[in-house]
Amino acid sequence: MAGLGMTRFLLHLAKPFLSEAERERIFSKPLTPDRLAAIRSAAYARVFGKPVVCSLCGKPLGKVICRVRYGRMDVLGLHEDVVRVDFYDRSTLRFRHARPESCKALQHR
Amino acid sequence: MLVNTILIHYPAELCDAMFETFSSMAAEDARFLLAYGGPHAEFAKIQYPDKIFFDDLHLRGQASPQNSWPWLKAASEWTRSHAAEATAVHFTECDHLVFRSDYWRRMEALLLSSGKDFLGKDCFCCSNTNFHFFLEYRDDPTLLALLGSISKRDDPTQLWTALGNGMLFRREALEALVAATDSIPCYTEILIPSVLFHTGRTLGSIDEISEQFDHVRFRPNFSSAEVLSLMREGTSCCHPFKDRERLPELLDKILERHRVQPS
């Protein structure tokens, strides 16, 4: 993965091509090293990740990459929405929307 | 009847224009309480009679952690003394625009028919999610001690959240909430739904049962062109609209529309 300086440079190059919402989300706060690392992980997952869908409504939650480090599993790419996770069986994790606003299955209109 | 309290920091003229518009739209359905967070000199110029002033820093701008407890407390006391017949109390911010005159009646009906004590935008149990406020507050000793001391639930660490703008309480739930504890330093959007849940009250999300808040969101801001288009489509309300320059013109349009076709 690119270093943080390169991430900052690429972000400014990509700025004109981002949506207004993305621009606001990324550039409304200072690009600290922590934020740059998070943005880099998110971009990496968006390009190389595999889609995960909500187990309730079937809508995509994002493209994710799983990696194990320091005895924990990182799930890169789950930054778009608020997500709840539990075990589907002994070795499979199941993801679903947490916010009623995002999930048709949580709405009873 | 519902009490709608609006937290506002705009110049006096704009406050009066907004409250005049909403009062004439709501007619008998709602009473309004202006909660002012701007300069005191400007507060004195406001003509609208039902007003209260806040100098609490937790209600101003980006003060961290932002905490609406003083607002809830003051609104609860005001409702008890000035609007004893109210069944519900609704908390909105000045960037929450209402377009339809049946908005307040529908909000009250939604709350009563839902059977809940509280309805909020995107209200949900955020425990064991990647929600950033849950991650920030799950180990907060002050909050956990408070919840532990008042909780009637099996799991006193469970946290709930809702958007700060648009909270809708049954009156007795609000009174029970403010009686439960004094203010503690914690962000409103976690503090209020969580305390309410642990005092044994029932919470629900407006999104689950109605389209009323489909255009209420945290951000991005709505532009005036978007607001006009929403108004034409018959939308009830939207949030956030922060273009103060265009607000008087929009308020005129809302009022004009109400006069032509009162809903």
- B119 CA to chain A: closest CA distance, Å? 12
Averaged confidence pLDDT in chain A: 89
Among A16, B188, B211, B42, residue whose Cα is nearest residue A27: A16
Q: Is there a contact between B256 and B23 (Cβ–Cβ < 8 Å)?
A: no
pLDDT value of position A42 = 87
Across A2-21, average pLDDT: 83
Tokens of B6: 């609006």
Q: Output the CA angle B82-B38-B76, nearest 5 degrees.
A: 25
Spatial separation of the C-alpha atoms in residues B156 and B158, rounded to whole Å: 6
Please report the DSSP string for B108-123 in residue order: HHHHHHHT-SEEETT-
Q: Is B124 on the interface with A (CB under 8 A)?
A: yes
Predicted ipTM beyond 0.90: no
Set of chain A residues whose Cβ sits within 8 Å of the Cβ of B225: none
Residue A5 has pLDDT above 90, yes or no: no
CATH number where B255 lies: 3.90.550
The model scores a pTM over 0.80: yes
**Minimum-distance CB partner of A98 among B126, B207, B209:** B126
Closest-CA distance of chain B to residue A88, Å = 15
CB spacing of B219 vs A24 below 8 angstroms: yes
Q: Position A38: which residue type?
A: A
* Cα(B43)–Cα(B46) distance, integer angstroms: 5
Domain coverage including residue B174: 2-260
State residue B6's pLDDT score.
97
Residue A4's pLDDT band (cuts 50, 70, 90): confident
The first and second tokens of residue B69, run together, are 């407890």
Question: Is A98 close to B124, i.e. CB distance below 8 A?
Answer: yes
* B149: three-class secondary structure by DSSP: helix
- CB–CB of A100 and B210 under 8 A? no
- The CA-atom distances, in angstroms, between A85 and each of A76, A92, A98, B152, B203 are 14, 10, 9, 26, 22
Report how many Cβ contacts below 8 Å link chain A to chain B. Answer: 46
* Lowest-confidence segment of A35-39, B96-100, B127-131 by average pLDDT: A35-39
Fill in the amino acid letter for A50: K
Q: How many structural domains are present in chain B?
A: 1
Using the Cβ of B128 and the Cβ atoms of chain A, whether some distance falls under 8 Å is answered with yes
Residue with the larger pLDDT of the pair A13 and B103: B103
Tokens of B232: 């034409």
Q: Which residues of B155-174 are buried (b: 16+ CB within 10 A; e: fewer)?
A: ebebbbbbbbbbbbbbbebb
Q: Which residue has the tokens 């009323």?
A: B212
Q: What angle do CA B63, B119, B36 make, to 5 degrees?
A: 35
